[in-house]
Amino acid sequence: MGSPTLLPGFSFSQTSLQDFSDCPRRFQLRYIEQLQWPAVETEPVLENERRQQEGQLFHRRVQQHLIGLPAEKLTRLANSPDLSRWWENYLGTKFKYSGYAQHVEITLAAPVGTFRLLAKYDLIAVKLGARVSIYDWKTTRKRPRDEWMAARWQTRVYRAVLVQAGAHLNRGDPFSPEQIEMIYWYAEYPSEPACYPYNTTQYKRDWDALTSLINEIGNHHHFPLTEDEKKCAFCPYRSYCNRGGKAGTMMDEMAETELTGDKINFEQIAEIEF
């Protein structure tokens, strides 16, 4: 029997590409074999779940606000210390998108060979013929380094997919890379957003890298375990790989923000499986 490979039509996302880059074996277990996660990602479990749920609730509140629900009504729903603080920070921030057409929680898809590449955006704000800003809300405790976020697949995928698949948001004309910027707004650090402008050279570099990575994964038959065992501490497949039974702790996670990003992988997977 041959080695398992991806079926044509598979939808890639920034999360699955990041999984492959972090550990090919994790990609295989999660997306080809579609195994459920047998181990917890971080300890303590309840605290981790609470953070995930609050992050999702915060995204929902902002979405509801952007589509027109009154802030006062939503404020009454921000009923935990974290949510209240993030919400106050959000309401106290002067975002630049007033006067822009706002596309909230929108998913774009670009074909790549026999596969698709999806990006689900928190907000795309468009000033026709001028600028387009991608906003992504982050609720991490620690603010990641800007250079680290710049290199994440999310930053590279979101901007490139907008060029490839966003023409319908711009009266049928593809956005030029120079019109695009991506902004991570950190709910714990409201006055320290990370802004990433874009240009044609970056777009060509990223799109070439994305298409070759997707083609490489599509032709892959061997998915080795990562050599960087730090990645295993937060991976739910540890027991499959004999990489230890004990989960990394949230304190480790805080010390190693770079291992986790913000939106939990599972949340992303749920988001794109529409």
Cβ closest to ligand SF4, residue 40 vs residue 150? 40
Least distance from ligand SF4 to the Cβ atom of residue 212, Å = 22
Cβ closest to ligand SF4, residue 103 vs residue 238? 238
Burial of 63 (0-12, 13-18, 19+ CB in 10 A): middle
Of 155, 238, 247, 262, the residue at the interface with ligand SF4 (CB under 6 A) is 238
- The tokens describing 36, both together, are 């459920």
To which residue do tokens 């007033």 refer?
A: 98
Cβ closest to ligand SF4, residue 59 vs residue 238? 238
Residue pair 136/184 in contact (Cβ under 8 Å)? The answer is yes
253 binds ligand SF4 (CB under 6 A): no
Residue pair 251/48 in contact (Cβ under 8 Å)? The answer is no
- The tokens describing 65, both together, are 């606000």
Cβ closest to ligand SF4, residue 159 vs residue 243? 243
Q: Using CB under 6 A, which residues numbered 20 to 39 contact ligand SF4?
A: 23, 25-26, 29
For the chain, the C-alpha Rg in angstroms (whole number) is 19
Site string for ligand SF4, 151-190 (x = CB under 6 A): ----------------------------------------
Of 62, 108, 169, 232, the residue at the interface with ligand SF4 (CB under 6 A) is 232
Of 103, 202, 237, 250, the residue at the interface with ligand SF4 (CB under 6 A) is 237
Q: Which of 70, 57, 252 is nearest to 139 (CA)?
A: 57
Residue 212 CB partners (closer than 8 Å, separation 6+): none
Of 57, 62, 123, 235, the residue at the interface with ligand SF4 (CB under 6 A) is 235
Residue pair 93/190 in contact (Cβ under 8 Å)? The answer is yes
CB atoms within 10 A of CB 184: 25
| Segment lying near ligand SF4 (by CB under 6 A), choices 19-27, 98-106, 111-119, 151-159 | 19-27
Cβ closest to ligand SF4, residue 32 vs residue 106? 32
Q: Using CB under 6 A, which residues numbered 212 to 231 contact ligand SF4?
A: 225-226, 231
- The tokens describing 223, both together, are 């998915």
Burial of 203 (0-12, 13-18, 19+ CB in 10 A): buried
| Segment lying near ligand SF4 (by CB under 6 A), choices 18-26, 72-80, 174-182, 263-271 | 18-26
- The tokens describing 120, both together, are 């689900």
Least distance from ligand SF4 to the Cβ atom of residue 38, Å = 11
Distance CA 173, CA 129 (A): 9
Q: Which residues bind ligand SF4 (CB under 6 A)?
A: 23, 25-26, 29, 225-226, 231-232, 235, 237-238, 241, 243
